[in-house]
């Protein structure tokens, strides 16, 4: 079945790379936000379900898959590598896998669009198959560092040839007999950890990854779920993961929980707009993803977690969020891995809190879909919020009331800057405009409509 990308669909076009920007305006609504939103599937888990399904023997059935562009790129790449992937509608997908080592040489370039996760995890898979492939991405992804995966993966026997600075496009000659790696992560990155583990699946012997700080563990959880032998050992603030190579992964059922990183945007809007009370259903609550909730509890936010349950092996709950006064906090750097994608929206929330909020240790934000540290600071300062960057820290001077707004935010092909700015505009005195909301489709395809259903005032152009 053909993959149709959502942005192309929204534009009424049946083609990829629809090269059109989508300016948007966000205004304070006349009343509080009200209602219930079902949170779209977790992006990290969705990528992994398709990739592990393609490496398993037999059928994998997925429910709640995020049908955002990033994940559709992964589906398309895994198809080019020989997996049979079908969309049954309503977030239900199936994957007929080829087994570890069974992927075939792709007949075309693998275009990973805007997705760093898809590109980096796939490097681990491609390094461990004796095939030739070429990978590229959009202008944002082509600017992002890939050496963090290609340098360690070269020790498997794979060869990578890239542009200057290790940037995409990348040519990959996978190892004929992949060697297992022992690697200590120099940066706290679940993507790097996962790339090493994925290569280790097709290596004889034990692959060992040491992470000095614990990062999201969806790969480890899902590998176990598919039948791999994975041992996770606590080690100080981090972990050591031991994976036994060449297991037989068996197709499995995966229920994808709602993405806490997507839930963060309607959650923030409800906190900022007076009179709001919103229910967010099915939000993933993996403890390695809930740093934002820890921060918001310290800020005095009114958030109740109801119906705690396990879905697809991950903790899930419904969040009930109400507007209220917030106080400034100091966010320690060790919290970063558990909320790495939530700093732009936390900075927006901090702009409404009373006092100065300091977000520490944000160096990794410089290499996300955009330089998110600079883009977040520019978003706020262009809308009447005083901010400073000191080293790797961001300081937001909150006023305890609505900031002025009135700015035009440059989103730099970054979905989280776009959604953050649109949430900001729900609370500011003047409207906030963004230059391009098209990239929101990478992670939250129905954001615009779902937010309007809660009462948000968002307009195209």
Positions touching ligand S3P (CB under 6 A) are 44, 117, 189-191, 194, 216, 340-341, 364
Phi then psi dihedrals of residue 375, to 5 deg: -65, -40
Provide the strand spans (E) within 287-363: 302-311, 314-322, 330-331, 354-359
- Active-site annotation holder among 111, 138, 259, 341: 341
* C-beta closer to ligand S3P: residue 135 or 454: 135
- What's the min distance (Å) between Cβ of 443 and ligand S3P? 8
Give the SS3 label for residue 450: helix
- Angstrom distance (rounded) from CA 328 to CA 399: 10
Complex with ligand S3P: residue 129 or 368, whichever CB lies closer: 368
Q: Among all residues, whose Cβ is closest to ligand S3P?
A: 44
Q: Which is nearer to ligand S3P, 61 or 366 (CB)?
A: 366
Point out which residues pair with 387 in neighbouring strands: 396
Terminal-to-terminal C-alpha distance of the chain:
34
Cβ within 8 Å of residue 19, ≥6 positions away: none
Q: Are strands 182-184 and 167-173 parallel, antiparallel or unpaired?
A: unpaired
Residue with smaller CB distance to ligand S3P, 42 or 318: 42
119: which 2 tokens?
């590109």
Closer CB to ligand S3P, 117 or 383, in the complex: 117
Query: 72: which residues sit within 8 A by CB, 6+ positions away?
Result: 3, 5, 6
CB 276 within 8 A of CB 34: yes
Q: In the numeric block, which tokens belong to residue 54?
A: 């393609």
Query: Between residues 156 and 194, which has the closer beta carbon with respect to ligand S3P?
Result: 194
Look up 392 and say whether it is catalytic.
no
Least distance between ligand S3P and beta carbon 188 (Å): 7
Question: What gap in Å lies between CA 110 and CA 112, rounded to an integer?
Answer: 6
Closest CB 183 distance from ligand S3P, rounded Å: 14
- Greatest Cα pair distance, the chain, in angstroms, is 63
What is the spatial distance between Cα 432 and Cα 26, in angstroms, rounded to a whole number?
5
Under DSSP, the state recorded for 303 is E
Name the residue with tokens 């079902």. Answer: 38
Residue 144 Cβ, how far from ligand S3P at the closest point, in Å? Answer: 9
Strands 457-460, 253-255: pairing is unpaired
- Output the smallest distance, CB 200 to ligand S3P, in A: 16
The three-class DSSP label of residue 221 is helix
For residue 419, the Cα-to-chain-centroid distance in whole angstroms is 13
**In the complex, what is the shortest distance from the CB of residue 47 to ligand S3P, in angstroms, rounded to a whole number?**
6
Q: Which is nearer to ligand S3P, 255 or 318 (CB)?
A: 255
Instruction: List residues with catalytic annotation.
Output: 341
């Amino acid at each position: 079945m053909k993959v149709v990308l959502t942005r192309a669909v929204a534009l009424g076009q049946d083609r990829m790379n629809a090269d059109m920007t989508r300016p948007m305006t966000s205004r304070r609504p006349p009343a509080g936000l009200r209602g219930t939103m079902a949170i779209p599937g977790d992006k990290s888990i969705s990528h992994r379900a398709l990739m592990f399904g393609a490496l398993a023997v037999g059928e994998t059935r997925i429910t709640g898959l995020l049908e955002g562009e990033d994940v559709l790129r992964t589906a398309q790449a895994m198809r080019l590598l020989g997996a049979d992937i079908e969309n049954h509608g309503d977030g239900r997908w199936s994957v007929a896998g080829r087994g570890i080592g069974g992927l075939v040489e792709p007949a075309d370039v693998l275009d990973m669009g805007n997705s760093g996760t898809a590109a980096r995890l796939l490097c681990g898979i491609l390094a461990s198959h004796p095939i030739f492939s070429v990978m590229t991405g959009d202008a944002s992804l082509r600017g992002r560092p890939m050496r963090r995966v290609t340098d360690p993966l070269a020790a498997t026997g794979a060869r990578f040839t890239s542009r200057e600075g290790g940037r995409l496009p990348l040519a990959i000659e996978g190892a004929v007999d992949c060697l297992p790696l022992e690697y200590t992560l120099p940066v706290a990155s679940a993507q790097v950890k996962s790339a090493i583990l994925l290569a280790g699946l097709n290596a004889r012997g034990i692959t060992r990854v040491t992470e000095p700080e614990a990062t999201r563990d969806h790969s480890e959880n899902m590998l176990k779920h598919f039948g791999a032998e994975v041992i996770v050992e606590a080690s100080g603030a981090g972990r050591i993961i031991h994976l036994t190579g060449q297991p037989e992964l068996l197709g499995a059922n995966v229920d994808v929980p709602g993405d806490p990183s997507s839930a963060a945007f309607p959650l923030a809007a409800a906190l900022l707009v007076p009179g709001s009370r919103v229910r967010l259903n099915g939000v993933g609550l993996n403890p390695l993803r809930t740093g934002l909730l820890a921060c918001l509890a310290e800020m005095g936010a009114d958030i109740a977690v109801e119906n705690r349950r396990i879905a697809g092996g991950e903790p899930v709950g419904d969040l009930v969020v109400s507007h209220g006064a917030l106080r400034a906090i100091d966010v320690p750097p060790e919290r970063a891995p558990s909320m790495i994608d939530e700093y732009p929206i936390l900075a927006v929330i901090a702009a409404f809190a009373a006092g100065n909020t300091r977000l520490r240790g944000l160096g990794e934000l410089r290499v996300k879909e955009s330089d998110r540290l600079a883009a977040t600071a520019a978003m706020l300062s262009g809308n009447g919020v005083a901010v400073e960057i000191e080293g790797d820290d961001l300081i937001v001077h909150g006023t305890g009331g609505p900031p002025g707004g009135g700015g035009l935010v440059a989103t730099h092909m970054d979905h989280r800057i776009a959604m953050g700015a649109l949430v900001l505009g729900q609370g500011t005195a003047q409207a906030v405009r963004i230059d391009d909301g098209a990239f929101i489709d990478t992670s939250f395809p129905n954001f615009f409509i779902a937010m309007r259903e809660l009462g948000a005032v968002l307009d195209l152009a």
